[in-house]
Amino acid sequence: MGFPSPAADFLQERVNLDRHLVSRPSSTYLFRASEPQWRAGIMKDALLVVDMARNPIDGSIVVCAHQGEFKMRRFRKYPSPHLENIDNLQTTYPLPGYVDGDPDDVVYGVVTWILNDARSGEFDDVPVM
């Protein structure tokens, strides 16, 4: 028989990324970015957490089908619902299937988290001398 440890009140659980990054496990997928999207803060080979059950809001980064490939676009609602190319804001794509807030015909999911490899220092505005 022993005495309980006084440190037992200070034990912490291990970090569980599923609990922090995934709100709906059945509709959440992980994508790997094949090309960088600098304006969105996405580097090459970044891990994207995409929730297919969320509705995009104005300014969301979404994964959509464009010419038979998965592409990342920025969803805009105003003046009319459309998708913007992230790197070239002048290029827009209308949403023909968008009816009453349901862009399911074109948009597959909303990017909720972006996990970049921080070792490269790509976004380091003030590098250490």
The pLDDT assigned to 118 comes to 83
Q: Please state whether beta strands 28-32 and 92-94 pair in parallel, antiparallel, or not at all (unpaired).
A: unpaired
pLDDT band with cut points at 50, 70 and 90 for residue 70: confident
82-101 pLDDT, tens per residue? 888 888 877 777 776 555 55
Q: What percent of the chain has pLDDT over 70?
A: 83
Q: How confident is the model at residue 110, as a pLDDT?
A: 95
Average pLDDT, the chain: 81
- The rounded distance, in Å, linking the Cα atoms of 71 and 91 is 14
Alpha-carbon distance 127 to 125, whole Å?
A: 6
